[in-house]
Chains A and B, each alone.
Chain A
């Protein structure tokens, strides 16, 4: 479990610098600064059958940073896997729809770093391997994605709330390198995966 502690520390160090500072002003009247702005629930995307967790939104509402806890039951994955993921999504444009409370964010770009638990996965390879024998860690998986979302704002108990549906098309490091070196056999579609999610902002 030593590795998991390291990862938690990493997340704690990573998140605040990006998200907390920007949003402090906007929410200081209504809420404590450390409380999350939203919750997400996601299907697939390489970080679990379902994953969910809290996240923060920048003041200008373009940058989301999330921590997602994912689970994959053995029935769907051949092995039961628990994954924790730090994720940042940038959605530069927000277009209001005719009914004013609805909007579309047509383009998102994001990255995530996931950590999958299990004794069969390594962060630092054991000493019985020569240095650099395997160059990648099997616990951590960096990935990138593009996507879009559809949202609706509404008021509950005098407070602005929001609901969003999003999709993401992404790939991870090991697939990307496989594709780059095998442009003949592999197509982009071979390495891309689809995820769907919902967000509730409060």
Chain B
């Protein structure tokens, strides 16, 4: 009997390994290949290895959620843009927070000519989404420096935490903004913009004040709204840009240099 059991188990193991993609234990499982882990850290290294230019050019896109056909078209369009250093995904990578969705989107995004980075969206926090995000990309709040710029990615999906005052993490944001000895320009990237109803109303003023009171913050980038939007909403010198969804087939091409920036709307 023991022989049969071990035979059956080894058959199952072989089957599992040989047709991995046909085996599903639970929709909420997290099942990643080696090259689908720690993507933020890996891609930051790739970005920091890119030779510096006077003007840094990158793409802001977002909300790939259940728009695989359109996202694949986006990659074609993005690859036709010249000198793009990296692509920023403004969140809602997945629609249902399911690991398979994250994998599909990564499969599409790795076809970009440049590395990509993400910020977590509200849909990515549904069900086991946060486990997938942490394993696949890394921390929910993180930052990196490149040239004259610091990029700060912060989880702004307050509603997913019942507006309990912990999200966005303002003390962490404050440390990222203040500890800036090289006087770099700082760009804050989130999914839900502070003026949206899914952002904690109690934290909106403190958040926007942190950005507005910092002379190194000139712009801040978001997704979530599924339409383009931009403006200096708090009259404090910080310009907010919101990108549209993949379903609406658009993105921003962003150029930044030491003393300025320029954004161009692209539709594909």
| Distance in angstroms between the alpha carbons of A159 and B70 in the assembled complex | 60
Q: Which residues of A contact B22 (CB under 8 A)?
A: 189, 192-194
Interface residue A132 (Cβ < 8 Å from any Cβ of B): no
Instruction: For A141, list chain B residues within 8 Å (CB).
Output: 27
Q: How far is the CB of A40 from chain B (nearest CB, A)?
A: 15
Q: Are A116 and B28 in contact (CB under 8 A)?
A: yes
Q: Are B67 and A77 in contact (CB under 8 A)?
A: no
Which of B23, B32, B127 is in CB contact (< 8 Å) with A194? B23
Residue of A nearest to B22 (CB): A194
Chain A 122-165, CB within 8 Å of chain B: the 1/0 string? 00001011000010101001000000000000000000000000
CB of A43 closer than 8 Å to a CB of B: yes
Residue of B nearest to A194 (CB): B22
**A41: shortest Cβ distance to chain B, in Å?**
10
Chain A residues touching B, range: 35 or more
A9 to B223, CA, bound (A): 42
One of B21, B131, B162 near A78 (C-beta < 8 A): B131
CA distance A126 to B95 in the complex (A): 18
B107-124 contact mask (Cβ, 8 Å, vs A): 1 or 0: 010000000000000000
User: Is B66 in contact with A178, judged by CB distance below 8 angstroms?
Assistant: yes
Residues of A within 8 A of B28 (CB): 77, 79, 81, 116, 118, 121, 138
Q: Give the CA-CA distance A177 to B96 in the complex, in Å.
A: 11
The reply to whether the CB of B126 lies closer than 8 angstroms to some CB of chain A is yes
Please report the C-alpha to C-alpha distance between residue A186 and residue B72 in the assembled complex, in whole angstroms: 11
Partner of B131 from the list A79, A83, A194, A196 (CB cut-off 8 Å) is A79
Indicate whether A185 sits within 8 Å of B68 (C-beta atoms), given known contacts A43-B12, A138-B127, A194-B22. Answer: yes
A78 and B68: CB pair below 8 A? Answer: no
Partner pick for A120 among B29, B31, B67, B127, CB 8 A cutoff: B127
Grouping DSSP codes into helix (H, G, I), strand (E, B) and loop, the B interface class, with mixed when no group exceeds half, is loop
How many residues of chain B get a CB closer than 8 Å to chain A's CBs?
Answer: 39
Complex-state Cα separation, A52 to B19, whole angstroms: 23
Complex contact B25–A44 (CB within 8 A): yes
**B19 adjacent to A77 (CB under 8 Å):** no
Q: Are B26 and A46 in contact (CB under 8 A)?
A: yes
Contact partner, B66, options A48, A77, A181, A184, Cβ 8 Å: A181
Interface residue? B30 (CB, 8 A): yes
The answer to whether B25 and A177 touch across the interface, beta carbons within 8 angstroms, is: no
Question: Mask for A169-181, Cβ within 8 A of B = 1, else 0?
Answer: 0001011011001
Known contacts A128-B162, A192-B22, A193-B24; is-contact A120 B128 (Cβ 8 Å): yes
Judge whether B127 and A78 touch: CB under 8 Å. Answer: no
Q: Report Cα–Cα, A47/B108, bound state, in Å.
A: 28
A175 to B127, CA, bound (A): 15
B196 interface hit (Cβ, 8 Å): no
- A185 and B72 form a contact (CB under 8 A): yes
Q: Which residues of A contact B162 (CB under 8 A)?
A: 126, 128
Q: Which residue from A48, A72, A121, A182 sits with its C-beta under 8 Å from B68?
A: A182
Residues of A within 8 A of B72 (CB): 184-185
Contacts of B104 in A (CB 8 A): 185-186, 190
Which A residues are in CB contact (< 8 Å) with B25? 44, 46, 48-49, 72, 76-77, 81
Contacts of A172 in B (CB 8 A): 27
Known: A77-B25, A196-B12. 20 other contacts (CB 8 A): A44-B23, A44-B24, A45-B24, A48-B26, A49-B25, A78-B31, A78-B32, A78-B135, A79-B131, A116-B26, A134-B126, A174-B96, A175-B27, A178-B95, A178-B101, A184-B72, A185-B72, A185-B104, A189-B21, A194-B22
Interface CB pairs A-B, < 8 A, 11: A44-B25, A46-B25, A46-B27, A48-B25, A81-B25, A126-B162, A183-B69, A185-B108, A186-B68, A189-B21, A193-B22
Which A residues are closer than 8 A to B by beta carbons? 43-49, 70, 72, 76-79, 81, 83, 116, 118, 120-121, 126, 128-129, 134, 136, 138, 141, 172, 174-175, 177-178, 181-186, 189-190, 192-194, 196
What is the interface of chain B, defined by CB distance below 8 A to chain A? 12, 15-16, 19, 21-32, 66-69, 71-72, 95-101, 104, 108, 126-128, 131, 135, 159, 162-163
